Amino acid sequence: MVRSLDDDAPSRLEGAGRRLLFDTRNDVRAAEALLSRRLMINRAQRIALTIGVAAIMTAACGTALTWESSRFLKGDIICGAVVVLCAAAVLIVTDRSLKSRHELEAELKETRESLRRLNAHEHPPLSERRLLYREDVTGMVEQFQADSRKYRRVHNILQSLIIIGSAATTTIAALDTGKQVTWQSVSLTGISFAITLAAAFTGYYKYRERSFFLQQTADDIEKEANAVALGIGPYSEFEPAQDQEALKLFTQRVEDLRNEQRRRQQQLDQPTEQAPPATPPPA
């Protein structure tokens, strides 16, 4: 049989290889989604089991301490209800159609290995590799930001617990003096507790400095926007036909301002003994 001149076998092979690579990437994403779902289910089950075991231990200890009376009967009923709710939560979140975590991790590892081997044999042009890298960088930035928010949230919760616990301990110690409790003493102690909390949270989270730096960055970006729109300042040298050059300079200056704001934010998030000296906002 005579081969047609339109039969481009290398092109078809290249297209098939790219489709296989695309499908493998989709398989990796699907495996990651299944593993994330399994980890979420396991985490919810562990939390429910922990609460249930704590309720059982609380009921057992309370019943043992008040064995001769029925004062803890109501507490036993509440703990039993909590255990039932935890068991129901475990059954509700259980997905029997989903594989175990170890199986999903093994499948994801195998799929990633296949993708790595395909990438080793694939040699896209430099422009395409740069575009792919740009897409990968977007995912990496989102992952880093998500991890940063998670750890910052945990740190802020623990730090808030420390602040509230310290202030509450001082307040309880002030009330436990053996003297008669009056509305004046209670009001004075409550006001002192509120002032202590306000001072601690203000010193830790630095709301005033954050507000000042954010407003300063917003004003600078607004100034740049007005300058590029009116053709003044650093944009006065560009002619009307040089809009792209003006926009390039505008983008660069705005990105510099955003990077400076990120640097200030990182300085505020650092502990006081580790943070470098920064210019305080004016009064």
Nearest to 49 by CA among 89, 93, 98: 89
Reported as a single tens digit per residue, the pLDDT across 217-267 is: 999 999 999 988 888 888 888 888 888 888 889 989 998 998 999 899 888
Cα distance between residue 205 and residue 222, in whole Å: 27
pLDDT of residue 4: 52
- At 172 the pLDDT is 76
Amino acid identity at 187: S
Which one, of 213, 168, 173, lies nearest residue 194 by Cα? 168
d(CA 140, CA 24): 19
Q: What is the pLDDT of residue 256?
A: 92
Query: Which range is least confidently modeled, 179-193, 199-213, 246-260?
Result: 179-193
* Tokens, residue 28: 């990796």
SS3 annotation, 32-75: HHHHHHHHHHHHHHHHHHHHHHHHHHHHHHHHHHCCCCCCCHHH
Give residue 1's pLDDT band: very low, low, confident or very high (50, 70, 90).
very low
pLDDT at residue number 283? 45
23-63: per-residue pLDDT in tens?
777 888 888 888 888 888 888 888 888 888 888 888 777 77
pLDDT at 110 over 90: no
Confidence of residue 132 (pLDDT cuts 50, 70, 90): low
Longest dimension (CA), the chain: 110
- The predicted model gives 106-113 an average pLDDT of 83
